[in-house]
Amino acid sequence: MTELNGLREIVGIDQILTGSATDSYLTDWRGRYTGEALAVVRPANTEQVAAVVRWCAKHRIGIVPQGGNTSLCGGATPSVQPVIILSLLRLNTIRSIDTENDTMVVEAGCILQQIQEAAAEKNRLFPLSLAAEGSCTIGGNLATNAGGTQVLRYGNTRDLTLGLEIVTADGQIVNGLRALRKDNTGYDLRNLLIGSEGTLGIITAATLKLYPRPVAQYTALLALDSLEAAVSVLGIARQGFDAGLTGFEIFARNCLEGVVRCFPQQRIPFEGDSAQVPWFALIELSDSESEIHARQRLEHVLGQALEDGVVVDAIVAESSTQSHDLWHLRESIPLAEKAIGKSIKHDIGLPVSHIAQFVAETNALIQEAYPGVEHIVFGHLGDGNLHYNVAKGVYSEAVLLSFESAIYKIVFDQLQKLEGTISAEHGIGQLKRDWLANYADPVELAMMHQIKRALDPLTIMNPGKLFADSSFK
């Protein structure tokens, strides 16, 4: 394609993919969306990214930034034409680690696990952790303000970031890689770009916070007879562990049954009645003092919960291997879901105090409308984030998907009633784009449109995501 010669001059002929070489970039992780692109462009550094953006602005070509292609809302898949996919995987250098300031500077294409391991080599912790950490990139984590399993203690990706290097929609480079914890010099452009899903600019590097590695970590799996009990145990754990409570995950029994069915090498570690409870919770305690202190705190809190009858049974991991096995059960739930078949997925947020009511009422409403569907409910109870999914149950996959729009409306109406959000950590992408227009505060939505027009007047930055307007002016 002769019209791509300008891009070949910027990144090199070998870094422009066309035809069948682009296939793996064009379909999202869930297999829900497949788009088209003029080419996949793979720059090697920030200067090349900026030059590519300037070329696209000149020719009115849309840009879809992509990292590990693990988006769950179609945020990294083309939805309009003409566009290129801008792969950031070659920007994969950890530029520096400052152990005195507890910061590290990394490029957007670094795999999350690579960052965790680099921090660990310096006896530091980068606490962002999620199931896709072996393949997702920090650029994608920043673009969606990813959450994960340790938000309860450390916060979302936004809370773990001090500065950004950004390429603007007209191809300028903003060097905002300041490693400062206090910096009140005008509008916070860093926090504006984090979570913007590539619609305002392209994040090419970031300055991240590091933390001391815990002296001890303990993991426990709890058997519970209700979601209300899980909320009660969360309160007990918060009071007993304080900042030491690193994670608090919940999942319904059928989630684990799906894991065992798809991955027979795994097993539910409880037996008898304890294995038949409707809910399980996975908690993690980190301690900076000593292993003995951590163990005593954990035993005290679990002992209180068992004595009060809030917890039916509990298993405490006796080794790092057992802890890994318990977390592996939790992290295998999305993989089992994918193996079993398509489902109607929701990444929602609620005040913790409203979660049990939401699940009970929404399950009932959906069963009333579509009796026999299956509810797959799991997530990060500690920060109020549930993955509330609906599987086919007695229906075929095609019939289930025909219910999708109506089920979304039931769920989103319930969230609106109970002061929740339609997206907690996965973003909007194209999956929830049209729903956002119906459920966002109209004044907030108008302000977002104004920001989009100001920073991306040509609407070339990840067009068709967040907002429906995708015309290249």
What is the structure's pLDDT at 123?
Answer: 95
What is the structure's pLDDT at 319?
Answer: 87
The alpha helices in 3-150, defined as continuous H runs, are 5-11, 23-26, 46-59, 112-121, 138-144
Q: 192 and 102: one domain?
A: yes
Q: 172 and 237: one domain?
A: no
Q: 305 and 229: one domain?
A: yes
Model confidence band, residue 287 (pLDDT cutoffs 50, 70, 90): confident
- Asked if residue 31 is part of any domain, the answer here is no
- Asked if residue 463 is part of any domain, the answer here is no
Model confidence band, residue 301 (pLDDT cutoffs 50, 70, 90): confident
Token readout for 265 is: 């090498």
pLDDT digits (tens, 9 = 90+) for 79-103: 999 999 999 999 999 999 999 999 9
pTM metric for this prediction:
0.93
Q: 295 and 356: one domain?
A: no
- Asked if residue 434 is part of any domain, the answer here is no
- The residue segments making up the domain with residue 290 are 216-313
Model confidence band, residue 469 (pLDDT cutoffs 50, 70, 90): low
Last residue of a domain, one of 174, 197, 212: 212
- Asked if residue 186 is part of any domain, the answer here is yes
The C-alpha atoms of residue 362 and residue 358 are separated, in whole angstroms, by 6
Phi-psi region of 16 (alpha: psi -120 to 50; beta: other; left: phi over 0): beta
Q: 357 and 402: one domain?
A: yes
High-pLDDT (> 90) share of the chain, % = 86
From the DSSP assignment, how many helices (H) and strands (E) are in the chain?
17, 18
Q: 185 and 115: one domain?
A: yes
Q: 360 and 282: one domain?
A: no
Mean pLDDT of the region 122-148: 95
Kindly calculate the radius of gyration of the chain based on its CA atoms and give it in whole angstroms: 23
What is the structure's pLDDT at 288?
Answer: 72
Strand partners, 41: 16, 86
Last residue of a domain, one of 156, 186, 212: 212
Q: 112 and 198: one domain?
A: yes
What is the structure's pLDDT at 302?
Answer: 87
The C-alpha atoms of residue 300 and residue 306 are separated, in whole angstroms, by 10
* Number of domains, the chain: 3
Model confidence band, residue 320 (pLDDT cutoffs 50, 70, 90): confident
- Asked if residue 85 is part of any domain, the answer here is no
Q: 296 and 383: one domain?
A: no
Mean pLDDT of the region 292-314: 85
Q: 116 and 206: one domain?
A: yes
Tell me if the bond preceding 82 is cis, omega within 30° of 0.
Answer: yes
- Asked if residue 238 is part of any domain, the answer here is yes
Phi-psi region of 155 (alpha: psi -120 to 50; beta: other; left: phi over 0): left
What is the structure's pLDDT at 305?
Answer: 86
| More confident site: 34 or 286 | 34
Mean pLDDT of the region 111-126: 97
- Asked if residue 473 is part of any domain, the answer here is no
- Asked if residue 53 is part of any domain, the answer here is no
What is the structure's pLDDT at 308?
Answer: 84
Q: 345 and 407: one domain?
A: yes
Model confidence band, residue 2 (pLDDT cutoffs 50, 70, 90): low
pLDDT digits (tens, 9 = 90+) for 18-54: 999 999 999 998 888 999 999 999 999 999 999 999 9
Last residue of a domain, one of 212, 232, 250: 212
CA-to-CA dists, residue 354 to 24, 231, 234, 278, 386, angstroms: 40, 10, 14, 19, 12
Q: For residue 397, what is the domain's CATH number?
A: 3.30.70.2740
pLDDT, averaged across the chain: 94
Q: 237 and 194: one domain?
A: no
Mean pLDDT of the region 219-239: 94
CB neighbourhood size of 405 (10 A) = 11
Q: For residue 287, what is the domain's CATH number?
A: 3.30.70.2190
